[in-house]
Structure 1
Amino acid sequence: MDYVTQIIDPPPSQPQLLLDGLRALRKPKLDGAPELPKARLVRSAVELPATGIAAYGRACGFRHEQGVPLAYPQVLAFPLHLMLLTRPSFPYPASGMVHLANRIRQHQRLHAGQALRLEVYCERWVAHPKGQALSIATRAYGADTLLWESDSLYLRRDVKNPVGEPWADVLPLQEEGLLRTQRWVLPADLGRRFAKVSGDFNPIHTSLIGAKLFGFRRAIAHGMWTLGRALAAEQPPGGLDQAQAHCDFKLPIFLPGQVALWRRPVSGPRREFEVRNFAGDKPHMRGLFIWNERLK
């Protein structure tokens, strides 16, 4: 697909992103199949800020010696995701798009102060059993070398006759040998606190009233916080060279609340895990984390 590159420097302010989100609450009803937006949004030099990394680390439980968290570049790219989803050319309202999954790969070690070229674009439609899904690609380059990449899957529910290849990239997890290893107590203001470091001020995470407007009985935790917290629990000290993380988001985590990390026994640089309720019968997120192995 031929994309039209747009350089986004400087990035829009948070108030502008919120205003664009309000304007995108309503979209004309589609007549026919949706068209994939052709914009490739680019920020040419985005610093990995030490202060931002530290704030994200505190929010998710990372230690300084763990280096740049694997999912942190997603924070820098999030405004570009919002810009794509709130553009007039995007066929659905941004509100109500559900974050279903994330696939992250890091090819080289990242460092605080390093400058990245970020590119974000709508990669493909995916036919999901619950509606129309969309994969948004994020690529981070240093000196024309791909250093880090992610693919984020978003879902628009209740779309009939979705287009694209059927969604089949679901993480397996064997129940045998799965152990509860940690309990996390989540405060009521977790969504607001994580919004300040991630830039995701979606009201379903930050406001009881906002959450109820979208059908939730209480505010819910950010999926990317859940991923970050799990990676912080699993990642060894010393930083990451090559690494990958896959996660599928399941049931929402209501705030305040408590959840637990369940995982298979440790076996080298590979972790299979699931964040569940404390009893272990309701899954919130399933994940796979592999580090410092050559990626295929």
Structure 2
Amino acid sequence: MDYVTQIIDPPPSRTRLLLDGVRALRKPKLDGAPPLPGERLVRAAVELSPGGIAAYGRACGFRPEQGVPLSYPHVLAFPLHLMLLTRPSFPYPASGMVHLANRIRQHQRLQAGQALRLEVFCERWVAHPKGQALSIATRAYSAGTLVWESDSLYLRRDVKNPVGEPWNDVLALQEEGVLRTQRWVLPVDLGRRFAKVSGDFNPIHTSVIGARLFGFRRAIAHGMWTLGRALAAQQPPGGLDQAEAHCDFKLPIFLPGQVALWNRPVTGPRREFEVRNFAGDKPHMRGLLLWNEKPAKRAWNE
């Protein structure tokens, strides 16, 4: 697909993103298959600032000796995600889009102070059993070289006859040997605190009233906070060169709350894990972390 590149400079303000989200609450009903939005949004030079890295690290539990968190570039690109989802060319209201999964691949070590060119675009439609899903791609370049990338899968529920490649829930975790390794006690204001770091002020995360408007009894934790917290518990010290993180989001985590990290026994530079309720019988997120291995391209349904 040929994309129309748009340079976003300066980045949109929080107020602008909020207003665009409100305007996008209503979209005309579609006839036939949805068109794939054709914009590629670009920020030409985004710094991996020491202050931003430190704030994100504090929010998710990363330690300075772990280097740049594997998931950190996602928060730098999130405003571009939101811009795409609230554009007139996007066929569904942004509100109500469900973040289903994330795949992250880092190809080179990232350093504080490094400048990244961020490119975000809608890559493909995915046919999901519960509706129409869409993959949003993020690509980060340094000096013209691809150094980091991610694919984020979003779902619009209750869309009949979804188009695109079929979705398969690819990550599996064998129960044998799985152990509870950490307990996390989550405060009521976790969503508001992470929103200040990530820029994701979706009311389902920051307000009980806002959450109830969208069918949740209480505010729920950000999925990307859950992933970040899980990676912080497992990312090795000294920073990462090549690495991958895959996660599928399951049940929401209500705030305040208590959850636990469950792991399979360690196998070299490989971590298989789930974030579950403390009893271990309800999954919130399933994940896989690999490092010091050359990342291979993987399709969603591999």
Where 2:20 maps in the other structure, the secondary structure is helix
Where 1:83 maps in the other structure, the secondary structure is helix
Question: Hey, what's the Cα distance between the residues in 2 that align with 1:59 and 1:165?
Answer: 36
Where 1:227 maps in the other structure, the secondary structure is helix
Match of 1:273 in 2: 273
Q: AA paired with 1:138?
A: T
1:93-172 → structure 2 map (5 Å cutoff):
93-172=93-172
Percent identical: 89
Question: Hey, what's the Cα distance between the residues in 2 that align with 1:181 and 1:47?
Answer: 34
Match of 1:282 in 2: 282
Question: Hey, what's the Cα distance between the residues in 1 that align with 2:234 and 2:107?
Answer: 19
Question: Hey, what's the Cα distance between the residues in 2 that align with 1:50 and 1:26?
Answer: 39
Where 1:261 maps in the other structure, the secondary structure is strand
Per-residue deviation at 1:169?
5.0
Match of 1:8 in 2: 8
Question: Runs in 1 of length 4+ with deviation above 4 angstroms?
Answer: none
Q: AA paired with 1:103?
A: R
Where 1:22 maps in the other structure, the secondary structure is helix
Match of 2:299 in 1: none
Question: Hey, what's the Cα distance between the residues in 1 that align with 2:249 and 2:70?
Answer: 17
Question: Hey, what's the Cα distance between the residues in 2 that align with 1:217 and 1:158?
Answer: 21
Match of 1:250 in 2: 250
Where 2:233 maps in the other structure, the secondary structure is helix
1:45-60 → structure 2 map (5 Å cutoff):
45-60=45-60
Partner deviation per Cα, 1:113-169 (whole Å, 9 max, x = no partner): 100000000000000000000000000000110000000000000000000010025
Q: AA paired with 1:105?
A: R
1:32-47 → structure 2 map (5 Å cutoff):
32-47=32-47
Q: Does 1:75 align with 2:75?
A: yes
Structure 2 unaligned regions, length at least 5: 297-302
Where 2:240 maps in the other structure, the secondary structure is coil
Question: Hey, what's the Cα distance between the residues in 1 that align with 2:26 and 2:52?
Answer: 33
Where 1:251 maps in the other structure, the secondary structure is coil
- How does the TM-score come out when normalised to structure 1? 0.99
1:189-204 → structure 2 map (5 Å cutoff):
189-204=189-204
Partner deviation per Cα, 1:36-59 (whole Å, 9 max, x = no partner): 000000000010111010000000
Q: AA paired with 2:8?
A: I
Question: Hey, what's the Cα distance between the residues in 1 that align with 2:103 and 2:225?
Answer: 15
Per-residue deviation at 1:294?
1.6
Per-residue deviation at 1:72?
0.3
Question: Hey, what's the Cα distance between the residues in 2 that align with 1:112 and 1:23?
Answer: 36
Per-residue deviation at 1:285?
0.1
Where 1:185 maps in the other structure, the secondary structure is strand
CA RMSD of aligned residues (A): 0.5
